[in-house]
Amino acid sequence: MALPINIEDLIRQRTVERTRIEYKADWNPEPIIHSITAFANDFDNLGGGYIIIGIEEENGRPVFPIKGLNPESLDQIQLDLLNKCNLIEPRYIPVVEPYTVDGKDILVLWVPGGEERPYKSPEKIYSEQNNDEQPNFEQNDLTISRKKKKNINETKSPKVYWIRKASRTMKANHMEERELIEMARSVPFDDRINYHANVDDMRLSLMAEYLKAVGSDLHKSVMARSIGDVATDMKLVRGPVEYRKPLNVGLMFFNDDPEEYFEYSRIEVVDKPDPTGMGMTEKIFRGPLDKQLRDALSYIQNYILKEYVTKVPDRAEAIRVFNWPYQAIEEALTNAVYHKSYQIHEPITVTVTPEKLTILSLPGPDWSISDEDLERRVLISKRYRNRRIGDFLKELKMAEGRNTGVPLIVRAMKENGSKEPKFLTDEERSYFEIELPIHPIFTGHDKNTVKDDNVEIDKILSDTNHRTRRSREEIKELIIATLNREGNLSMNEIAESLGYAALTNTVRDVVKELFKESMVAYLYPDKPRSRNQKVCLVQDRLDKK
């Protein structure tokens, strides 16, 4: 089977953090079994990791061109790997898949966090005799001399717990062993079995869309297989064959209405122009976590964000500032979806006032982040609350690598000329709120100035109804991307997906242009006024034919 990940992105560390990838030039059982054990223990709740055999590394980075493995050795390596995994206690078998990259054969081991952690394995996998080297499978040498090497009896080598520290595999000390045993009592909520749902409650079409979006080879065969088989390959189900049940993360991403299983797992955007509530509007975003996140961000970009442009004497470029930089909001809202507890029945709330934009989620940050860290805006968590949610968001390129969100928020606000963001919680860590102050130029009563190259602009924008506008070409690209992601849509559904409250003349005109350019077509061309009419990509229709 193919893995539910883009292999090129994995090898080049584009979506998975460097600390979760290990490269091995050849099959060397001892360090590889140790690393499998460490990833399975998932000490930091990061979601395990990957071991790529056949690629050399230098300072944690892959070395190109790829070295590769002898094709004739692949079966022998996999057989030996299976035998050596029996030394792990309790027994743990990673997902192993051969790939050909740049004409070279490699083996990719996917090692998710184990269900039965903690795991341990022998310190020594081979005993040395006659000072021989470890066995390998390079070139045509596929045999191991049993006279020179023998498997060490597992009772003769003590079994120890292995964990990952940064990008290294090492033995756990006494305190870390105790912590591992304590962790065994708690599996992250998103990785737990949901006994109130069935495998068929997940949608195969949503899985296919996800696998296509991330570039996994698995998407090519999805629609020809059963949902149970695909979900098994994606590690979305667990339990005995006769009683397979979905994991929570599978229902969060591949069910049309996760709120059926996790109450208030949604995003609410409240625009509150007056403290009394006069003129307040509220928009609720539901559906799979990635969809509601995209929809909420699109709505904010279209209806909340505003841009102020002013021309400066003796300078060709105009100065452009936003009430809030989009990148800061994107990172903050993604952070909330990633780290909130879905056991607490409260939504993520975005509140917009004339002074600030706040994003509230429950509970607060992990206790490994001190109060001093919060004050210094250094939020480096030892463990993640939702390791599987994070993996899916990273694969979709909606979340960045480990602990990079807060620095990006701070930088985006600074580059926009905004005041510093605030990260707020209480003593009990019962909530977490990110507060983004509005750029001072958008406060009509404040006579702050915007400075650039010692040029002061004293005029403050008083009309805050000036909104960011998209060009027609941008709207075209968004429509094509939306149809590609969500499939056939009506005109009203297209407008809604782009974040508009209703179908606008601009969207209608742009769709007409796409018709003329033969980029889109009606699903039912013979019935243009049908109530069930949808707009589809021309390429999709050609593919179906």
pLDDT tens digits along 183-232: 766 788 899 999 899 999 999 999 999 999 999 989 888 989 999 999 99
Q: Domain ranges for the chain, please list them.
A: 7-186, 191-257, 267-457, 472-544
452, 312 Cβ separation under 8 angstroms: yes
Weakest mean pLDDT among 95-109, 111-125, 493-507: 493-507
Q: How far apart are CA 442 and CA 436, in angstroms?
A: 13
Question: Who has greater pLDDT, 462 or 473?
Answer: 473
With 90 as the cut, is the pLDDT of residue 431 above it?
Answer: yes
Per-residue pLDDT band at 141 (split at 50, 70, 90): very low
**How many CB atoms lie under 10 A from the CB of residue 497?**
20
Q: Please provide the DSSP assignment of 499-544 as one string.
A: T-SS--HHHHHHHHHHHHTTSEEESSTT-TT-TT--EEEHHHHHHH
Helices marked H in 42-189 — which ranges? 74-85, 174-183
CATH architecture under which domain 7-186 falls = 2-Layer Sandwich (3.30)
What value does the mean pLDDT take over residues 369-384?
Answer: 68
With 60 as the cut, is the pLDDT of residue 466 above it?
Answer: no
Task: Give pLDDT, residue 244.
Answer: 87
With 90 as the cut, is the pLDDT of residue 261 above it?
Answer: yes
With 60 as the cut, is the pLDDT of residue 82 above it?
Answer: yes
Chain-wide mean pLDDT for the chain? 83
Task: Give pLDDT, residue 146.
Answer: 41
**pTM, 2 dp:** 0.64
Per-residue pLDDT band at 103 (split at 50, 70, 90): very high
Per-residue pLDDT band at 233 (split at 50, 70, 90): very high
Task: Give pLDDT, residue 469.
Answer: 55
Task: Give pLDDT, residue 436.
Answer: 97
Task: Give pLDDT, residue 378.
Answer: 65
Task: Give pLDDT, residue 385.
Answer: 81
Share of the chain above pLDDT 90, in %: 51
**How many CB atoms lie under 10 A from the CB of residue 47?**
26
Task: Give pLDDT, residue 127.
Answer: 39
Share of the chain above pLDDT 70, in %: 83
Q: Is 246 exposed, middle or buried (0-12, 13-18, 19+ CB in 10 A)?
A: buried
Candidates 3.40.50.2300, 3.90.1170.50, 3.30.565.60, 3.40.50.300; CATH matching 267-457: 3.30.565.60
What value does the mean pLDDT take over residues 20-38?
Answer: 96
Per-residue pLDDT band at 470 (split at 50, 70, 90): low
Q: How far apart are CA 44 and CA 90, in angstroms?
A: 20
Helix (H, G, I), strand (E, B) or coil at 123: coil
- CATH no., domain 472-544: 1.10.10.10
With 60 as the cut, is the pLDDT of residue 410 above it?
Answer: yes
Q: Please provide the DSSP assignment of 412-476 as one string.
A: HHHHTTPPPPEEE--TT---EEEEEEPPGGG-TT----EEETTEEE-PPP--TT------HHHHH
Task: Give pLDDT, residue 160.
Answer: 94
Per-residue pLDDT band at 286 (split at 50, 70, 90): very high
What value does the mean pLDDT take over residues 12-23?
Answer: 90
With 70 as the cut, is the pLDDT of residue 149 above it?
Answer: no
C-alpha to C-alpha distances, 319 to 203, 303, 309, 315, 322, nearest whole angstrom: 47, 22, 6, 9, 10
Q: Which of 188, 127, 250 has the alpha carbon at shortest distance from 383?
A: 188
Helix (H, G, I), strand (E, B) or coil at 39: helix
Task: Give pLDDT, residue 66.
Answer: 94
